[in-house]
């Protein structure tokens, strides 16, 4: 790589770094706005997403998956239960265990409209890219998700 390429790469990496930070902050703020519209906190909204992705689980599993303490998970479950978004059910295998069960219908009723409108806009955005560009975007996003998950594990001491 010659000096001109090194210089161009340095500028491009600085731009990517700036845009990544802007994207990250924008994502947090967007999800906070979605959550507020649904009467939730931004973090509770993302815990609902974890339950949507992974299904019902114990409070301990939710604590491990989210990286927060079991005490914080208990408080979060209390809030979501009060909001009629989750219920606590006893495990059929071990009556001592409590399973957190998401009311998917209520979650979609409250959060779904925001995501439906957003998905339509996103579909339109994707139409501006070629298949080759989308493959590159997919590769980048997979790498960033892996990187982010590794950072979360490191920060949580795992």
pLDDT in tens, 24-49: 999 889 989 988 988 888 888 888 99
pTM confidence score: 0.75
Q: Which residues of 67-102 are buried (b: 16+ CB within 10 A; e: fewer)?
A: ebeeeebeebbebbeebebbeeeeeeeeeeebbbeb
Query: What pLDDT does 11 receive?
Result: 95
Q: Which of 122, 116, 115, 109 is nearest to 39 (CA)?
A: 109
Domains of the chain: 3-127 (1.10.10.10)
Distance (Å, whole) CA 41 – CA 72: 14
Q: pLDDT digits over 39-89, tens only?
A: 888 888 888 999 999 999 998 899 888 888 888 899 999 999 999 999 999
The answer on pLDDT for 110 being more than 80 is yes
User: E strands, the chain, where?
Assistant: 57-58, 86-90, 98-102
User: E strands, 22-150, where?
Assistant: 57-58, 86-90, 98-102
């Amino acid at each position: 790589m010659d000096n001109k390429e090194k210089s161009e790469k340095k500028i491009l990496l600085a731009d990517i770094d700036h845009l990544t930070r802007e994207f990250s902050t924008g994502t947090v703020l967007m999800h906070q706005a979605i959550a507020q519209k649904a009467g939730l906190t931004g973090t509770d909204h993302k815990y609902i997403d974890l339950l949507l992705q992974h299904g019902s689980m114990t409070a301990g599993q939710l604590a491990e998956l989210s990286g927060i303490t079991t005490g914080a998970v208990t408080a979060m479950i209390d809030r979501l239960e009060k909001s009629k978004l989750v219920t606590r059910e006893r495990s059929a295998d071990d009556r001592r265990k409590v399973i957190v069960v998401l009311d998917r219908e209520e979650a979609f009723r409250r959060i779904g409209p925001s995501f439906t409108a957003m998905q339509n806009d996103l579909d339109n955005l994707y139409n501006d890219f070629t298949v080759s560009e989308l493959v590159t975007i997919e590769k980048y996003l997979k790498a960033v998700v892996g990187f982010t998950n590794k950072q979360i594990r490191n920060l949580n001491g795992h």
